[in-house]
Amino acid sequence: MRKAFLTCLVLLLCPVLFAQETLTNDSVIKLLKAGLSEELIVTTINSSPGNYDTSVNSLIALKKAGAGDKVVSAMILKASGAAPASAATAASSASTAAGTADVPAPISLAPGTLPAGVDSVGVYFLEKGGTHWQEVPAEVVNFKKEGSLKHLASAGVLKGEMTGLVGGNRSPLTLKLPQQFILYVPEGRAPGEYQLIHLHANADSREFRAANGGIVKDAGGALRDVLDYAPKKIAPRVYLIEMNEEFERGEYGFLPPSDTAVGDTIPTATKLYSFSLTH
């Protein structure tokens, strides 16, 4: 117990004792003879100015005085002006993390090309730190009609409200915010025809309410599950969507447009590109 206390005391005092002193080979030998641990001596070498002789004869003398490989290596690194490997690695990692964490890389494409991995119509996500896009899995949605909305669409057609039901209370895909998505839409379709849905999980299913035939703004009513998003065109029929930390944790999905006529007719089933979002 007393030895442990003395070791801690020396650990605290070493930087102070040697703060105004440039360490040398003799200083290290003194520390070795005082019985300090190898780890403590290495810490002192790394945190103090030093002027070390690393010639062959001097290194042999250090080994005869009881210096281990870690101590000798720390002296050689200090003499060469290089940062300790662990510290340099940590600093580099911290710098990289500070500069890139949660900041999606910009997408730059040559004219007429598609992002890597985007090869067919669908919805894609980019994993953190990745360069290859992967397809968001599609799940089956079954619908039931809930009635008509008191909104007139641009084509003068009264659009219907529908409730979608997806099996299971969680998507097979979990992603962390912020997250990027790509919509690769069919010929003749617009990204605004894809509804971004916030699903509500039950014991064994997920439900949502959406508009049949397109997005109808009704934020305070039945269509509160349809969220706004801002697609950015990056190639013909290819659109980038970014979801930031302002989105809540939970279950989401992109609902593609149905070819079924709008009005009282609604699809009995279609697909939903689903995913779970966490912070």
pLDDT digits (tens, 9 = 90+) for 110-163: 555 788 889 899 999 987 777 789 999 999 988 876 554 443 333 333 356 778
pLDDT score of 76: 84
101 Cα distance to chain centroid = 7
Rounded-to-integer distance, Cα 101 and Cα 93, Å: 11
Say if residue 178 is preceded by a cis peptide, omega within 30 of 0: yes
Listing from the earlier edge strand, what are the strands of the sheet with 179-184? 133-135, 122-126, 179-184, 238-243, 232-235
Rounded-to-integer distance, Cα 212 and Cα 131, Å: 35
pLDDT score of 162: 75
pLDDT score of 257: 84
**For residues 266 and 162, is the Cβ–Cβ distance under 8 A?**
yes
pLDDT score of 238: 94
DSSP string across 9-36: HHHHHHHHHTTTS-B-HHHHHHHHHTT-
Spatial neighbors of 187 by CB under 8 A, at least 6 apart, are 237
Rounded-to-integer distance, Cα 182 and Cα 217, Å: 23
What tens-digit pLDDT sequence spans the chain (279 residues)?
555 555 555 555 554 444 457 899 999 999 999 988 888 898 888 888 889 898 888 888 898 999 988 888 888 888 866 555 444 444 444 444 444 444 455 555 555 578 888 989 999 998 777 778 999 999 998 887 655 444 333 333 335 677 889 999 999 999 998 999 999 999 999 998 899 999 999 889 999 887 665 444 444 444 678 899 999 999 999 999 999 988 999 999 999 987 654 444 556 678 999 999 998
Rounded-to-integer distance, Cα 97 and Cα 271, Å: 37
pLDDT score of 155: 37
| Amino acid residing at 69 | D
pTM of the model: 0.55
Q: How far is CA 201 from CA 177, 224, 271, in A?
A: 19, 15, 17
pLDDT score of 47: 83
pLDDT score of 251: 96
Rounded-to-integer distance, Cα 53 and Cα 276, Å: 59
pLDDT score of 262: 42
pLDDT score of 109: 58
Q: Tell me the chain's radius of gyration from C-alpha atoms.
A: 32
